Amino acid sequence: MQVIYSKLITLYNLITVENYIRRIGLSQSKSLNSNQCGFILKNREYLIKRRESLGYSRTFVADELDMSLDYYYQIENGQRGKRMSVEMLARIAKVLKYERARLLENEVDYLIQCNLISLN
Protein backbone atom coordinates (compact mmCIF):
# COMPACT_ATOMS: atom_id res chain seq x y z
CA MET A 1 0.00 0.00 0.00
CA GLN A 2 2.87 2.39 0.81
CA VAL A 3 4.29 1.87 -2.70
CA ILE A 4 0.96 2.83 -4.27
CA TYR A 5 0.73 5.91 -2.05
CA SER A 6 4.28 6.95 -2.97
CA LYS A 7 3.57 6.53 -6.67
CA LEU A 8 0.39 8.60 -6.34
CA ILE A 9 2.24 11.40 -4.56
CA THR A 10 4.87 11.38 -7.31
CA LEU A 11 2.14 11.50 -9.97
CA TYR A 12 0.33 14.27 -8.13
CA ASN A 13 3.49 16.36 -7.87
CA LEU A 14 4.37 15.84 -11.54
CA ILE A 15 0.99 16.93 -12.87
CA THR A 16 0.66 20.28 -11.22
CA VAL A 17 -1.39 23.22 -12.33
CA GLU A 18 1.87 25.05 -12.94
CA ASN A 19 2.92 22.41 -15.46
CA TYR A 20 -0.48 22.67 -17.10
CA ILE A 21 -0.13 26.46 -17.34
CA ARG A 22 3.33 26.13 -18.91
CA ARG A 23 2.07 23.52 -21.34
CA ILE A 24 -0.73 25.76 -22.62
CA GLY A 25 1.67 28.69 -22.90
CA LEU A 26 0.40 31.12 -20.27
CA SER A 27 2.93 32.92 -18.14
CA GLN A 28 2.38 32.77 -14.40
CA SER A 29 2.41 36.57 -14.27
CA LYS A 30 -0.87 36.72 -16.16
CA SER A 31 -4.11 36.65 -14.28
CA LEU A 32 -5.83 33.34 -14.82
CA ASN A 33 -9.54 32.80 -14.91
CA SER A 34 -11.71 29.82 -15.70
CA ASN A 35 -12.26 30.89 -19.31
CA GLN A 36 -8.56 31.27 -20.15
CA CYS A 37 -7.52 27.83 -18.96
CA GLY A 38 -10.72 25.95 -19.59
CA PHE A 39 -11.14 25.21 -15.89
CA ILE A 40 -14.49 23.81 -14.92
CA LEU A 41 -15.12 24.59 -11.28
CA LYS A 42 -16.88 21.66 -9.68
CA ASN A 43 -17.65 20.60 -6.18
CA ARG A 44 -15.28 18.12 -4.68
CA GLU A 45 -18.09 15.60 -4.34
CA TYR A 46 -15.78 13.01 -2.84
CA LEU A 47 -15.10 15.31 0.14
CA ILE A 48 -18.73 16.29 0.56
CA LYS A 49 -19.96 12.68 0.43
CA ARG A 50 -17.30 11.50 2.86
CA ARG A 51 -18.00 14.32 5.33
CA GLU A 52 -21.75 13.69 5.16
CA SER A 53 -21.31 9.91 5.54
CA LEU A 54 -19.50 10.56 8.83
CA GLY A 55 -22.23 12.94 9.95
CA TYR A 56 -19.76 15.83 10.16
CA SER A 57 -20.72 19.42 9.55
CA ARG A 58 -18.50 21.74 7.53
CA THR A 59 -17.97 23.69 10.73
CA PHE A 60 -16.66 20.62 12.54
CA VAL A 61 -14.26 19.74 9.72
CA ALA A 62 -13.02 23.33 9.43
CA ASP A 63 -12.41 23.47 13.18
CA GLU A 64 -10.52 20.17 13.12
CA LEU A 65 -8.39 21.47 10.24
CA ASP A 66 -7.81 24.74 12.08
CA MET A 67 -9.13 26.85 9.21
CA SER A 68 -12.08 29.13 8.72
CA LEU A 69 -15.43 27.69 7.72
CA ASP A 70 -15.39 29.89 4.62
CA TYR A 71 -12.00 28.52 3.52
CA TYR A 72 -13.09 24.90 3.96
CA TYR A 73 -16.37 25.61 2.17
CA GLN A 74 -14.39 27.00 -0.76
CA ILE A 75 -12.20 23.88 -0.85
CA GLU A 76 -15.27 21.64 -1.03
CA ASN A 77 -16.81 23.81 -3.72
CA GLY A 78 -13.70 24.04 -5.88
CA GLN A 79 -13.11 27.74 -5.34
CA ARG A 80 -9.89 27.16 -3.37
CA GLY A 81 -7.15 24.63 -3.47
CA LYS A 82 -6.92 24.11 -7.20
CA ARG A 83 -3.80 22.22 -6.26
CA MET A 84 -3.75 21.41 -2.60
CA SER A 85 -0.46 20.46 -1.01
CA VAL A 86 0.14 16.86 -0.08
CA GLU A 87 0.27 18.04 3.53
CA MET A 88 -3.21 19.59 3.26
CA LEU A 89 -4.55 16.42 1.66
CA ALA A 90 -3.04 14.38 4.50
CA ARG A 91 -4.69 16.65 7.10
CA ILE A 92 -8.06 16.31 5.37
CA ALA A 93 -7.59 12.53 5.13
CA LYS A 94 -6.97 12.33 8.86
CA VAL A 95 -10.02 14.40 9.81
CA LEU A 96 -12.32 12.61 7.37
CA LYS A 97 -10.86 9.19 8.27
CA TYR A 98 -9.96 8.71 4.63
CA GLU A 99 -7.26 6.35 3.38
CA ARG A 100 -4.56 8.73 2.09
CA ALA A 101 -3.99 6.88 -1.18
CA ARG A 102 -7.72 6.84 -1.91
CA LEU A 103 -8.06 10.55 -1.15
CA LEU A 104 -5.13 11.29 -3.45
CA GLU A 105 -6.70 9.20 -6.24
CA ASN A 106 -9.95 11.11 -5.83
CA GLU A 107 -8.15 14.46 -5.92
CA VAL A 108 -6.29 13.52 -9.12
CA ASP A 109 -9.61 12.44 -10.66
CA TYR A 110 -11.12 15.77 -9.59
CA LEU A 111 -8.26 17.73 -11.19
CA ILE A 112 -8.69 15.78 -14.42
CA GLN A 113 -12.45 16.41 -14.46
CA CYS A 114 -11.85 20.14 -13.97
CA ASN A 115 -9.37 20.17 -16.86
CA LEU A 116 -6.61 21.26 -14.49
CA ILE A 117 -4.40 18.35 -15.50
CA SER A 118 -4.22 15.84 -18.30
CA LEU A 119 -2.55 12.47 -18.33
CA ASN A 120 -2.36 12.33 -22.12
- CATH number reported for the structural domain that contains residue 77 in this entry: 1.10.260.40
Is residue 118 a part of any domain in this protein? no
Q: How far is CA 34 from CA 29, 45, 72, in A?
A: 16, 19, 20
Is residue 86 a part of any domain in this protein? yes
Is residue 32 a part of any domain in this protein? no
Which is nearest to 109 in space by CA: 58, 47, 57, 53?
47
pLDDT per residue as tens, the chain (120 positions) = 566 666 566 666 555 545 544 554 443 333 334 433 455 568 999 999 999 999 999 999 999 999 999 999 999 998 886 778 888 999 999 999 999 889 988 988 888 888 776 666
Is residue 74 a part of any domain in this protein? yes
Is residue 72 a part of any domain in this protein? yes
Find out whether 65 and 92 touch, Cβ atoms under 8 Å. yes
Find out whether 115 and 40 touch, Cβ atoms under 8 Å. yes
The alpha helices in the chain, defined as continuous H runs, are 2-14, 17-23, 34-37, 45-53, 58-64, 69-76, 86-95, 100-113
- Residue 55 gets which letter from DSSP? T
C-alpha radius of gyration, the chain, whole number: 15
Is residue 103 a part of any domain in this protein? yes
Provide the number of structural domains found in the chain: 1
Return the pLDDT at 63.
98
pTM above 0.75, yes or no: no
Q: At CB < 8 A and 24+ separation, what contacts does 6-10 make?
A: 8/101, 8/104, 8/105, 8/108, 9/86, 9/104
Is residue 27 a part of any domain in this protein? no
Domain enclosing residue 54, as ranges: 2-21+40-113
